[in-house]
Chains A and B, each alone.
Chain A
Amino acid sequence: MSGDFDKERGGGGRGGRSGDKDKKDEKGGGRRTFFRRRRVCKFCVEKIDYIGYKDVKLLAPFIPERGKIQPRRISGVCATHQRALQTAIKRARALALIPYTTD
């Protein structure tokens, strides 16, 4: 994981991510450029405290078709919850509730 990336984002606040490759528009303070999406942590917003491994419905949105765990740079989950999510997904995999891989 790149620590630099996280630092960069922390300064930018909660506004949309200004793409790394895209040229930055100085007028908008670098925030307005290529507004993609408001990325907020689902677990913070919905105040889900316990991410259980038994709850497949809760975990499913974070597992794309391939079966990999979605990185938080895509899903917008905060670090704390991504960690909890990670263990939950790995436990669910061990119990064959979620596939390790799909091809």
Chain B
Amino acid sequence: MSQVRQYELIYIVPPDTTEEVLADVHQQIAVVAERFGATIEKTENWGRRRLAYEISRHREGVYVLELINGPGAMTAELDRRLRVLDAVMRHLIVRVDEELGVAERSLTRRKAAMGARRVRRGLPPEPTEAERHRRDTEREDDMDGGMESGFRGREDR
């Protein structure tokens, strides 16, 4: 029994990688995914980015993100394949459906709670444009204060 889950796969290739090699890597991933009955939801190329530290004497790398819907057994195979590939400097597979689901649920819960509160006060459930604007400006002031004090805190440690 295999459940379909959502995974994020990020891999980094050296900045001097040619388009063909990049396409080949993608193709290999697609083949593995297909074998497990998975679908690649989207592919995102972040382009060349500075690395925070050197990886095999490279200071820059090209980041590629793939969003894959597939079974858990697939990740092990992908992991194994990517480790063997010389073109890939580094990769990471993370399961995201759970975390994003939690985030979404708490967002809807909060919205519902806010709507209920507003109705109890005799207001429409959704805030009007004017209210939203006022709240945003207030929050900006608040954030400035918070940041300042945070900085002070670091110094007096």
Contacts and interface: CB of A to CB of B under 8 A. Distances in A.
A87 B34 CA distance: 30
Interface in B63-82: 63, 65
Contacts of A46: 139
Tell me the interface secondary structure of chain A in the complex. Answer: loop
Is the interface on chain A under 10, 10 to 19, 20 to 34, or 35 or more residues? 20 to 34
B94 interface: yes
Contact of A95 (B92, B139, B145): B92
A91 B107 contact: no
Nearest to A19: B156
A96 B157 contact: no
A63 B127 CA distance: 35
B88 to A, nearest CB: 12
Interface residues of B, number: 32
Contacts of A38: 145-146, 149
Contacts of B146: 37-38, 40, 42, 45
A92 B15 CA distance: 19
Interface stretch (B25-33, B95-103, B116-124): B95-103
A50 interface: yes
A94 interface: yes
Given A38-B146, A53-B94, A47 B153 contact: no
B150 A96 contact: no
Interface string B133-157: 0000001001001100110111011
Interface of B: 10, 12, 49, 51-53, 55, 61, 63, 65, 90, 92, 94, 99-100, 102-104, 106-107, 110, 139, 142, 145-146, 149-150, 152-154, 156-157
16 contacts: A37-B146, A38-B145, A49-B106, A49-B107, A50-B100, A50-B103, A54-B65, A75-B150, A76-B150, A91-B94, A93-B52, A95-B12, A95-B90, A95-B92, A96-B12, A96-B55
